Amino acid sequence: MTNNVKIGVYICHCGVNISQTVRVDEVANLLSGKQNVKVSKSYKFMCSDPGQQIVETDIKEHGLNRVVVAACSPLMHELTFRNACERAGLNRYLFQMANIREHCAWVHDDIDKATIKATALVNAAVKRVTHQEPLTPMKSKINPNTLIIGAGIAGIQAALEIAESGNKVYLVEKESTIGGQMAKFDKTFPTLDCSACILTPKMVSVSHRKQIELLTLSDVEDVSGYIGNFKVKVRNKARYVTDKCTSCGECTKHCPVHVPNWFDEFTQNRTAIHKAFPQAVPNTYIIDRQQRPPCIEACPIRQEAAGYVALIREKRFHEAAQLIHKRNPLAVVCGRVCYHPCESECNRGHVDKPLAIQQLKRFAIDWEMNNNGKFESPVIDKHRPEKVAVIGSGPSGLTCAHDLSLKGFKVTVYEQHSIPGGMLAIGIPEYRLPKKLLAMEINYFRGMGIQFKTNMKLGSDFTIDDLYKEGFKVVYIAIGAHDSIKLEIPNEHVIGIYSGVEFLRKVNIGILMDLGKHVAVIGGGNTAIDAARTALRLGAKKVTILYRRTKLEMPASPEEIEDAEAEGIHISYLTAPTEVISENESLRGLKCIRMTLGEPDSSGRRRPIPIPNSEHELEFDSVIVAVSQSPNLIGLNGKSKHKFTITKWNTLHVNPETLQTSEPSIFAGGDVVLGPSTIIASMGQGRRAAESIEKYLNKEPLDNFTTHMVRPEVLRGESFRPHSYAKTYKETEKTEREAVGKLNPLARKYNFEEVELGFTEEQAVKEASRCLNCGVCVECHECQRVCEPGAVNYEMEDKIKEFDVGQIIVATGYDVFDASKLIPYGYGKLKNILSSLEFERMLSSTGPTGGRVLLENGKEPRAVGIIHCVGSRDSNFNKYCSRVCCMYAMKFSHLVKDRTSAEVYQFYIDMRAYGKGYEEFYSRILAEGVNVIRGKVAEIVEQKANDGDKFLAIKCEDTLIGKFREIPVDMVILCNALQPSKTTEKVAKILSLSRSPDGFLLERHPKLDPFSTVSDGIYLAGCAQGPKDIPDTVSQASAAAARALAIISKGEVDIDPIRAEINENYCAGCRMCNNLCPYSAIEFLEDKKVSVVNDALCKGCGTCVAACPAGAITGKGFSDEQIYAELEGILEV
Amino acid sequence: METKQTLKKEINLKDGVFEPKIVGFLCNWCSYSGADLAGVSRIKSAPNVRIIRTMCSGRVDPSFIIKAFELGADGVLIAGCHFGDCHYLEGNFKTMRRIEMMKLVLKQFGIDARRLRLEWISASEAEKFSKVTFEFTEQIKTLGPLRLIKN
């Protein structure tokens, strides 16, 4: 083949760019006549029209079939010469370029060395081109849709340009509104146009254009593919407000949470439900929900604790009580005796102590009952024909009955005792939960139409079969755990020994018992404490609790233990009974043994181990055993045909998600499933069961539950913050947790009066103010309540949207430099020092001062200093010039003068007023009487005047008069540098875009292609590429749009056929390449046992070519032969 | 060999000074552009480094390296994108593994592993490119010419 090769070699002088360092004629002569070189010439400008003409003519005249041009970088002019070859009838891939400008002439001084190197590079190209083969470019159809990332003025402009042509645009914006930084400005230089007046019409037309699909609150998560065929994945975050929103703003009046608004640069507050600014597009509110407050997440019924706490803080007690009662039908009970898992998870615990959430709930409920009377049962307008039986009227049964009844089902509750309420009625003593309050709660259920059948014991008074005969379709078993577990020690049967639950039941239904003088209670749970305190109230002189572990392991609530001890109950830790001492079948005392703690057991608690020879005897008149309870399941399996699975803990086995038993129409929950548990956990199961039962009766699959099962604890530490605008837990100021008032122990220990008095109003508000508003929105549902169109939807979830586009425009903008890094300027420490954007917001009529220039004390400044180049043109931070600061500093000067009578001092390094009308603007502002001082500010310090007023002294060297100066001012405005935004960094990674050393995105060519990237089909617009003002941004955005449109109207583009190709004859089927390919472009054909490359997926990186052990893979355009030849040529010289 | 001698003679190389020949395989997207930027910014680099463009540093076949030494290179430089920046997602990871392996292989050929250098140079790191060429040239000068015994 090499015999017929005729190569034309052309060395470019590039004016003098190349020829002043490389002896171009010498290179041309050296190659002339060598190998297959037919023609070898040098020319002044190869890329010029006559230059290209030389190539074309030679191809025709000399019959050249290969061309080498040695000139600039192939990234610059490869395309030019390929086209020239093609015009002369030569395949465009039979051309090779040697880079002797960027890689040689421009970077070397030694003419000899540069000439040698240039010869080597040209020689390499000559050798290589010999092995090049004609290729056909691949065609790629262009998907006419375009993705634009970032909806500031750049993104908006590009989107509108493309939409104007009728082509579709996906405009992705991470914030809740479009408009970017420009929307924050008050006026724009040099025309002093109102920024909003020129921007908002564009924003509105974005929302009206049907070609533009606007995706706010969205992040691009993944992009794959190539020009014409990109696949995009976008996460559209939940807004929690639907487009039914009319933007009336009623919700913000009711929202109890206030956090600094990002749009106002955190200079004024907004509510959790908010709109960034009045003209925001889309014109829809948004709820800022950064995480679900942990108190809500921890609650099995998902009671909105943070919500009512916030309402209490705002003194909206009625709304708080309504919110509680809406979710919690046993609100009165829970306010008094809930185990409050919410408090254990409360983030305030990382600061000092968790909030007293339970007491706050009690306060709100008590306030409501004192001021508005009892809660009225709702009237249910839905009616379902199916009847449901609930066995057991404890918290689980009641919650299930309540929820089912709200759904319209007829519910009958069966209760074995004479009063409904289960453990609430017969397990909890009066002094913790007054009976009349429980009766009121039960009446609320009756009022809803729930039937109660008391004195009906399962197994003896009725069976489950009877219920089906009576027409019930579903049964919910919530019979609790009422059997006491025995100690299993000798003589436990004797008179004078009682079980804890039995004892409490008797007392609760009014049977008075004489326990004697000295009573022992065995156990460490709440039942044990209840029994001990009840025994005390029944007249026992001395009550001792025996517990085999220590206080640390005790399962009872700490406040209960504290109260018991305050009443004089003695707790004997690390003590366990081994035998009952009896006389004539009646109790005399206990034989006990001392314990010590060993290694933790499966429950995580340390196992008690008896200490040898520590046996001792204690005398008691009565002993109450309250170690644990277990369900009584005898009635279930009695005469019923239904067979249930029982666990080894003697509880009913159910599906933990659906609570369905082995019988499809029978569900179970509460203590009968969980074993002795808490009120709130049982209520949680009742609630889940109700949802499950409804699904069952609707013949729906039992999944996709909206009710709650508590998730595992989330790890949080003191370095975290409750939400993004708050201080870390460590930095948060510590406060005291309010202590609830209680009856004096002496006054309470002999009667059953309620011990806890509840918070006073003042206490409640103070305690509620300790809440950290975790996650910003605290789910008080006030916005939902007041929203007339019903636009608030708490159930909204993030959506993943996937779509295809042909091209991408990146317009991710800038962030401003954080001036607190420049310590001598005191930003963030001293008052009245503002960043440029903070001052923009101050100037805005929707900003914190309504557009007035004011100091923090509300007075007008007497003098204002404006400091240029804060963080730019500074080798410590950014070397570059931010380009816009000089001009907006002028704008600020004008506006300060316009709105106050203050003197203005500008501190600049060089005044840069390039651009149309800018120099004129500068002159105009100077004429307005602004003082300009040339010199970089060294330091800003706070000083005190003689009259005690504080002011800021700006210290700098005036380089024009060569003197050190100190200017007193009241306010300082910093001109912060423009920096690449954080999103730019993220997007650059996703799109594999290069960035220049300053962090801005790298353009294809700084002069000739400043809005393209080296990746075909990806363009840049605005400050993502570098700092620029609005006119330049708009021009660049339009240019990017024009480029995209040009490609769209072409319909398809040529793609270099640089692809891997597998020669099936050589492929051994080792499949090594299959896993190497990052695009999964290589498939293995099972029938032929060879791998093949999918051309559409291959990108031509050549990794597989380099790895193939059989040499079966060729890189088209970069084959092994070509590179070997290139090596040979490059090293020959 | 004939061409080699004539070309050398005609250019009139100052004899006596060892000027190493170094082949630089640069990936198209990052390092080649970085070298271009060095040119545009007129940041000087060592003339000893002669550049061959590959689409990805992952394209550099171990045999290219051996071949380069065999054909008279005194050093081989391979430069690609930084981790996470690879235009082809993960080609540079493969390069890294391959080069580590190649260093072991080179020893068996009696070639000092320091004659093979791997660098990550982004499209904006013109200065780094320049620095690397000078450093590497100095390194190779210290190591002296590579004398491979051929059969």
Check if the beta carbon of residue A633 is closer than 8 Å to that of residue A650: yes
Instruction: Say whether pLDDT at B13 is over 50.
Output: no
Whether residue A114 contacts residue A17, with contact meaning beta carbons closer than 8 Å, is answered with no
Looking at beta carbons, which residues of chain B come within 8 Å of A32? none
Rounded to 5, what percent of chain A is helix, strand, coil? 30, 25, 45
A477: pLDDT strictly greater than 50: yes
CATH topology of domain A146-182+189-222+1019-1051: FAD/NAD(P)-binding domain (3.50.50)
Looking at CATH, the fold of the domain delimited by A814-980 is given as FAD/NAD(P)-binding domain (3.50.50)
CA count, 13 A, side-chain hemisphere, A458: 26
The predicted-structure confidence for B124-144, as pLDDT tens digits, reads as follows 899 999 999 999 999 999 999
| CATH 3.50.50.60 fits domain A387-482+641-697 | yes
Cα–Cα dist A841/A837, whole Å: 6
CA A774 to chain centroid, in Å, comes to 13
> How would you classify the pairing of strands B22-27 and B49-54?
parallel
Task: Give Cβ neighbours of residue B6 (< 8 Å, ≥ 6 apart).
Answer: none
> From residue A85, how far is each of A93, A172, A775 by CA, in Å?
9, 42, 64
Cβ separation A1133–B30 shorter than 8 A: no
Mean pLDDT computed over every residue of chain A? 92
Please check the confidence at residue A885 and state whether its pLDDT lies above 90: yes
| Residue range A669-694, pLDDT digits in tens | 999 999 988 999 999 999 999 999 99
A76 and A82 Cβ atoms separated by less than 8 Å? no
* For range A204-229, the mean pLDDT: 94
Q: Which residue from A107, A989, A1101 is facing B56, i.e. has the nearest CB? A: A1101
Tell me the pLDDT tens digit for each residue of A16-25.
999 999 999 9
CATH code for A485-627?
A: 3.50.50.60
Q: Which segments of chain A belong to CATH 1.10.1060.10?
A: 294-375+743-775
**Span A525-529, average pLDDT:** 92
At residue A539, φ and ψ (nearest 5 deg) are 115, 5
Q: Average the pLDDT over each of A226-230, A597-601, A682-686, A1080-1084 and give the range with the smallest value.
A: A597-601
Count interface pairs A-B at CB distance under 8 A: 165
Rg (CA), chain A: 41
- The number of helices, as runs of H, and strands, as runs of E, in chain B is 5, 4
- Window 60-99 of B, Cβ < 8 Å to A: 60-64, 67-68, 71-73, 84-91, 94, 98
pLDDT by residue (tens digit) across A284-301?
999 999 888 999 989 999
**CA dihedral of residues A251, A256, A261, A262 (deg, nearest 10):** -100
- For residue A713, name the pLDDT band (cuts at 50, 70, 90): low
Which of the four pLDDT bands, split at 50, 70 and 90, describes residue B8? very low
Can you tell me the mean pLDDT for A888-912?
96
- In 10 A of CB A944, how many CB atoms? 9
Q: Does B137 touch chain A (CB under 8 A)?
A: no
Contact (CB<8Å) B58/A1106: yes
Which residues are CB-neighbours of A143 under 8 A, at least 6 positions away? A228, A229, A230, A804, A805, A806
DSSP states of A326-366: HH-TTHHHHHHH---HHHHH-GGGGTSS---HHHHHHHHHH
Q: Work out the percent of chain A whose per-residue pLDDT is above 90.
A: 80
User: Is this complex's ipTM strictly greater than 0.90?
Assistant: yes
Flag whether pLDDT at A180 surpasses 70: yes
CA separation for the pair A122, A24 (Å, rounded): 11
Residue A104 is given by DSSP the state I
Average pLDDT of the residues in A158-164:
97
Report whether A529 contacts A428 (CB < 8 A).
no
Determine, for residues B123 and A994 on separate chains, whether the beta-carbon distance falls below 8 Å: yes
Q: What is the mean pLDDT of residues A1099-1110?
A: 90
The closest of A778, A764, A774 to A361, measured between CA atoms, is A764
Find the mean pLDDT for residues A1024-1034.
Answer: 96
pLDDT at A641: 67
pLDDT band at A3 (very low <50, low <70, confident <90, very high): low
Q: Closest by alpha carbon to A32, among A68, A84, A61?
A: A68
* pTM exceeds 0.90, yes or no: no
Q: Which residue of A has its CA nearest to B3?
A: A1132
Judge whether residue B4 has pLDDT over 50.
Answer: no
pLDDT value at A459 more than 90: no
Is the distance from CB of B30 to CB of B121 less than 8 angstroms? yes
Measured between beta carbons, which residues in chain A are less than 8 angstroms from residue B21?
A: 1131
CATH class of the domain defined by A7-135:
alpha beta
Q: What pLDDT shows up at residue B141?
A: 93
The pair of three-digit structure tokens given for residue A236, joined into one six-digit string = 């559209």
Condensed to tens digits (0 to 9), the pLDDT of residues B65-101 reads: 999 999 999 999 999 999 888 888 888 999 999 999 9
Residue A707 pLDDT > 70, yes or no?
yes
Structure tokens at A714: 């989330």
Q: Which residue has the tokens 């271009």?
A: B36
Return the structure tokens found at B45. 């680099």
- In this prediction, residue A712 carries a pLDDT of 52
- Coil, strand, or helix at residue A539? coil
Contact B36 A1118 (CB under 8 A): no
**How far apart are alpha carbons A948 and A358 in whole angstroms?**
49
Residue type at A374 in one-letter notation: K
Per-residue confidence (pLDDT) for residue A711, from 0 to 100: 61
Q: What's the CATH fold of domain A1055-1116? A: Alpha-Beta Plaits (3.30.70)
What pLDDT is attached to residue B6? 41
- Name the residue facing B122 among A123, A994, A1078 (closest C-beta): A994
Average pLDDT, integer, range A421-437: 93
Q: Is the Cβ–Cβ distance between B95 and B67 less than 8 Å?
A: no
Q: What is the nearest CA distance from B85 to chain A, expressed in angstroms?
A: 6
Which of the residue ranges A492-496, A665-669, B57-61 would you say has the lowest mean pLDDT? A492-496
List, in order, residues 6 or more apart from A382 with CB less than 8 Å away. A406, A407, A408
CA distance B18 to chain A (A): 12
For residue A716, pLDDT beyond 90: no
Distance CA A595, CA A576 (A): 7
Q: Which fold has domain A294-375+743-775?
A: Fumarate Reductase Iron-sulfur Protein; Chain B, domain 2 (1.10.1060)
Query: Does the distance separating the beta carbons of B85 and A992 come in below 8 Å?
Result: yes
* pLDDT tens, residue by residue, A758-812: 999 999 999 999 999 999 999 999 999 999 999 999 989 999 999 999 999 999 9
DSSP state letters, A1035-1051: HHHHHHHHHHHHHHHH-
Which chain A residues are closer than 8 Å to B123 by Cβ? 994, 1002, 1014
C-beta separation of A779 from A306 below 8 A: yes
Residue A657's alpha-carbon distances to A481, A664, A674, B61, in angstroms, are 21, 14, 13, 56
Q: Where in chain A is the domain with CATH 3.50.50.60?
A: 146-182+189-222+1019-1051, 387-482+641-697, 485-627, 814-980
Q: Please enumerate in sequence order all residues whose Cβ is within 8 A of that of A1102, keeping only pairs 6 or more positions apart, or say none.
A: A1060, A1115, A1118, B54, B55, B56, B58, B59
The alpha helices in A242-328, defined as continuous H runs, are: 250-254, 294-298, 305-313, 317-327
| pLDDT of B122 above 60 | yes
Alpha-carbon gap, residue A1034 to A1023, rounded angstroms: 10
pLDDT range class, residue B11, cuts 50, 70, 90: very low
Which CATH architecture group holds B18-143? 3-Layer(aba) Sandwich (3.40)
**Chain B CB contacts of A1101 below 8 Å:** 55-56, 58-59, 87-88, 91
Give per-residue burial for A769-802: e unless 16+ CB within 10 Å, then b.
Answer: ebbbbbbbbbbbbbbbeebeeebbbeeeeeeeee
Q: Quote the pLDDT of residue B10.
A: 40
Q: How confident is the model at residue B21 (pLDDT cuts 50, 70, 90)?
A: very high
Give the residue from chain B lying closest to A1060, CA to CA.
Answer: B59
User: What is each CA distance from A1076 to A122, A292, A542, A1109, B149, in whole angstroms?
Assistant: 34, 42, 79, 13, 35
Q: Residue A75 and residue A242: Cα distance in Å, rounded?
A: 49
Tokens for A1062, please give them.
Answer: 């597998």
pLDDT at A594: 94
Say yes or no to pLDDT of B12 above 50. no
Q: Which chain B residues are closer than 8 Å to A1115 by Cβ?
A: 55, 59
Q: Yes or no: say if A661 and A653 are a contact pair by the CB < 8 Å rule.
A: yes
Which position has the higher pLDDT, A746 or A61?
A61
- Encoding tokens for residue A275? 């709109």
